[in-house]
Amino acid sequence: MIKREGRALSGHLGRRVGGAVVCLLLMAGVTWGTIPSGNEFSLYLTEAKTPSARKTLLDDALGKQHFFRFLTIVDMEKGESNGAPFIALSTTEPSSHMTVKFKVLKSLSLATLLEAPPSGVGDAVAVTGVIQSVDPVKRVIVLNPVIVRYKDRTAPKVGKEMYYERDTSGIIYSFTGGKEPVNVSKRDEDLLQYEEKITEEKGKDGWAKFLLDEIAKRDKAAQAERDKLGIYRKDTAPAPSPAPEAPAPGVITEDEN
C-alpha cells in the first residue's frame, strides 16, 4: 500500500487595520496541536477596547505556551552564557505589529536558525514559547523559554498550505508494503524518483530497505553538520596539572639517570 500524505492547515486569524478598515487575514496553521495561537493573542490584545478586556486576555495568556508564526526577524544577537551559546531575537508579529522578543538556547532550535541557509534579519520563524511578560503600551511580548519550530514565510499564503511546504520534516509519502513502514519527508523527496527501478529489481522489501538506508545516511550527515554549528554547551576544560616541584639540590631524579 502506497499513499501520499499531507496536512492542510488553515485558519482564520482575525481582523485589523488602522481602526476604520477591517482586514481579513487567512492564516495557515496558526496553532500547534492544542497550543493556542500567539498571533491571535497579539491581534486580540491590540484590538481590546477596555483595560478590563486587556486584563482578561493577559491573565489567560501569561505563563502559558503559545504558537507564533510569521515572526519577522528585525534584530539578532549571538552570544554565550556560562559556556552555552544563545541567539537573542527581536521579531515583529505581522497582524498586530507587536514586537516579540526571545532568547534561543536549545541546541535543536539553534540548529534550525543556523542550518543553511542561516536565518537573518528579514527572515521569519515559527516558534512555540511561554509568554513571560507583555507590555501593551510598548507593544512588546517576551517569550521564555522558546522552541524554534521551523523557518517560516513572512506572511500567510493565499489558499491552502500543506505542512511540508513550511517544514521540510513534513511527511509527503508513506510506504507500508515492505517489512517495515517508511515515511519520507519533504527533505528526501528526491528519493522517490527511484521507486520504479528499485521495486522492479528488488521488490517491495528492497524498496523499503532502500528508503530506510538512504534516510539513515542523510540523518547521520545532517547530525554531523549540526555538530559543526557550535550549538552545544562547551565542555569545561580540565584544570591544568600543577607543575612538578623542583628537586632539592643534590637529589638525583629519574630523568638524570
- Per-residue pLDDT, 220: 94
What pLDDT digit, counting tens, does each position of 96-124 carry? 999 999 999 999 999 999 999 999 999 99
Domain residue ranges in the chain: 9-163, 169-227
Measured CA to CA, the distance from residue 197 to residue 103 in angstroms comes to 48
Q: What is the DSSP letter of 31?
A: S
Q: Which of 5-9, 20-24, 105-109, 161-165 has the highest mean pLDDT?
A: 105-109
> pTM higher than 0.75 for the full model?
no
Measured CA to CA, the distance from residue 46 to residue 17 in angstroms comes to 11
Measured CA to CA, the distance from residue 241 to residue 10 in angstroms comes to 61
Q: Decide if pLDDT at 25 tops 60.
A: no
Ranges 19-28, 114-123, 191-200, 222-231: which has the least confidence: 19-28
Closest to 27 measured CA to CA, from 45, 46, 40, 44:
40
How confident is residue 235, by pLDDT bands cut at 50, 70 and 90? Answer: low
For domain 9-163, the CATH architecture is Beta Barrel (2.40)
Closest to 127 measured CA to CA, from 64, 69, 43, 166:
69
Q: Where are the beta strands (DSSP E) in 153-219?
A: 171-175, 182-185
